[in-house]
Structure 1
C-alpha cells in the first residue's frame, strides 16, 4: 500500500478542516453540494429546487457558473436555496468547474463530504439521505459513494454506471451489502451524483481542470479509490435529464477529441490505476473507439480523435491554477489545497 493511501479502511477517520477542527465521517457530518452550470437556466433551477426539497438538505450549496451567457448565474443567485454562487470569467468546462467547486467546498465551507452533480441532475427527495444512511451503516470507512442515475423514463442511464471493483473479495461484497439494499463495491464513479470524502480530497487532491470535459470524474474517483473503499447505492436515485438516452460515445462530435486525449492522460499519466486496470480499461476503450469509427465512418470524428491522440502524447494536463487563472480567487483556493497535498 502506498503511503498516500495508508489509512486502514476499517478504521473510522476524522476529517481535518481548514480551521484545524475535525468531524466524524460516520454521521452528522457537513455535506456540501457542488453544481456546475453552463447556459441551462431552466435545468439549474430544477436542480436547485430538488436540493431544496431533500429530506436531508445539504449544509451548503455551491454553484459554479461557468461564464454562462444566458440567465443561469442569475437564476442561481436568486434561488431561495441560498447557494454560494461563483461566477467564473471563462468557461473552463465541467472539469474546471468541479475543480473550483470542490476546492471551495473543502477550503471555504469545511466540507466533510462533497456532493457533486451536473446542472441536469435532478435528485429524488431522499437521494442525499440514502447516501448519508449508507455511510452510517458501513462497517468500513468510505471514500466515494455513487447514486443510481436514471433517464427521464426511469431506465438506468448508460452514461453514469459506476465500474464495479474488479476482484472484490467476499468481505468487500459483504461490507457493501451491509450498507444499503443492492449496494456494491465500485472502482470509479460519475460526477452525476457522487459523494466524495472531504478528508480524501484534502489528502489526494482535486480533479484536473485541464480535462475540460469527460474522464475528469473517471480519473479523480479512481485516485480516491485506488486504495479507498467506494460503494454504489441504488436506493439513492437521481434523474439525469440529458437530451437523449445513450452513453458519451453515442454522438460525440468534436468532443471526441477530449474523450481520446483525456482517457489517455488518465491511464498513462497518473497513478490512479494499476497496471492491470490500465491494460483492461485501455483495451476496452480502444475497442469502443474502433466500433464508433467503424459505425459512423465520419472523417471529422477521425480527425478529432487523431488530434486528441497527438496532444495526449505531446504533453500532460496543465496545472489547474493555470487553467483557472482568469479567476484568481478560484485559482488561489485550488493552489492552497494542492500545496498541502503536494499535487
Structure 2
C-alpha cells in the first residue's frame, strides 16, 4: 500500500482538504447485508466525511431499518433518501450527487453498496485534493487481489482500453479520461460545469461517460492509493492478465441501448465520428457475445443485445434529446433545505 504522505509536487504546507466538506454518496438496492458492511467500515474511518448520503432504490428488504440503526453511531451526519421506484444505479447516483451538491459539499465520493472503505481512505484521497478535481482511487478485489480498472477510453470508439498499463511511476498517479461510480471522488466545481450524472442510462456506460465529460474540464487522474475493498464475489473468466466478469440480461440490453445516449453526448461536444463510434459499438457487441460464451457458457441472452441496439437507434434519432444541464452556482458549505 502506498504512503499517506503528501503527493509529489504538492508543497507540504498546503492544507486545502477538509474532510467535513466531503460527502460519501451510496446507492443501494435490496442488499442490506452488503450495505451493513459498508456502513460498519465508515464507522471505523479516520477521518470521517461530514455527510453520508444513502439513496435507496425502493428496496423491499430491511434496508430502511439497517440505515436507521447506524444514524447515531455512524460518526457523520446521515441523509437517507428512499426513492419511490428503482431508478437503477444511474438514477441513484444522480440523486445522490444532487443531494450532496445541495448540502454544499466540496467533494463527493460515490460508491456502490458492495464495497467497504479502508479506515484511512478519505485521508488518502484528500491528500490529492489540492492538485486535482477528479480523482479515482484503487480497490482490492473480493479475494484481496489488486483490482484492475480500465481507466483509459479510446475516445473515437467510445470504449475502454482493456490493456492500459497497470503500473505507476514515482508520481503516484496516471491521467485518465474515464470514471467509475465505485469510488469516483469529484469536486463540486466540476459537477457544476457538467451537471449531474444522467439518470436516463439506468445502468451501464453512465460513469464512464461522466468521467469522460469531467476529463474535458479538468485533469482527471487515478492515484496509487488503495481506498476501497470489494465485498461481493462475481463470476469471472480468468484471461491471465485480466478478468472478464459475468453479466445479466438487463446489463446486456443497456450496454447496447445506452450507446444511443453516448452517441448524442459525443455529438453535443462535437467529437462524434460515425465510422469509428460504430466500430466501437460493434466491438462492444462482440465482447458481449464472448462474455456469454466464455463466462456464462450459453448463447441465451443475445436477444437482449439486439433489443438494446434497436432502442439505442431510437434514442440517437430523438431530436428532442438534450445533455444534462450545468448546475446553478451555490456556495460550498451552504446547507439549503432538502
Task: Report the more deviating stretch, 41-50 or 262-271.
Answer: 262-271
Match of 2:190 in 1: 200
1:241 matched to 2:231? The reply is yes
Change (3 A) 1:294 1:201: closer
Quick one: distance in 1 between partners of 2:228 and 2:203?
A: 21
Query: Given that residues 249 and 292 in structure 1 are in contact (C-alpha distance below 8 angstroms), is that contact kept between their aligned partners in structure 2?
Result: no
The match for 1:27 is 17
Number of paired residues? 288
- Give SS of 2:301's match: helix
For each residue in 1:187-245, what CA deviation from the matched residue of structure 2 results, as whole angstroms up to 9, or x when unmatched? 11211111011111112101111111111111111111113111112213211223315
Change (3 A) 1:262 1:134: same
Q: Deviations over 1:72-109 (max 9, x none)?
A: 122112212151111111111111011011000011x1
Normalized against structure 2, the TM-score is what?
A: 0.74
Q: How far apart are residue 281 of structure 1 and its match?
A: 7.2
5+ residue gaps, structure 2: 1-13, 156-167, 237-242, 331-338
Corresponding residue of 1:113: 107
The question of whether the paired residues in 2 share the 8 Å contact of 1:128 and 1:236 is answered with no
Equivalent position of 1:124 in the other structure: 118
Q: Is the 8 A contact 2:234 2:245 kept in 1?
A: no
- The correspondence for 2:207, drawn from 179, 204, 217, is 217
Match of 1:102 in 2: 97
Matching residue within 87, 92, 97 for 2:87: 92
SS in 2 for 1:243: coil
Aligned partners of 1:27 and 1:165: how far apart in 2?
Answer: 32
Q: Name stretches of at least 5 consecutive residues in structure 1 with no aligned partner.
A: 1-23, 167-175, 321-333
Q: Distance in 1 between matches of 2:198 and 2:119?
A: 31
Question: Using the alignment, how far apart are the partners of 2:94 and 2:29 within structure 1?
Answer: 15
Counting only pairs closer than 5 Å after superposition, residues 310-325 of structure 1 correspond to structure 2 as 310-315=310-315
Equivalent in 109, 127, 150 of residue 133 of structure 1: 127
More helix by share: 1
Rounded Cα–Cα distance in structure 1 between residues aligned with 2:261 and 2:122: 32
**Residue 339 to residue 310, structure 1, CA distance change in 2 (3 Å):** farther
**Deviating more after overlay: 120-129 vs 147-156:** 147-156
Q: 2:152 aligns with which of 133, 155, 163?
A: 163
Distance in 1 between residues matched to 2:153 and 2:287, nearest whole Å:
23
User: Within 5 Å, which residues of 2 pair with 1:43-62?
Assistant: 43-62=34-53
TM-score by length of 1: 0.73
Native 8 Å contact 2:28 2:54 kept in 1: yes
Alignment CA distance shift 1:26-1:163 (3 Å): farther
CA contact (8 A) 2:252 2:288 kept: no
| In structure 2, C-alpha distance between the alignment counterparts of 1:197 and 1:177, rounded to whole Å | 25
**Paired residue for 2:304?**
304
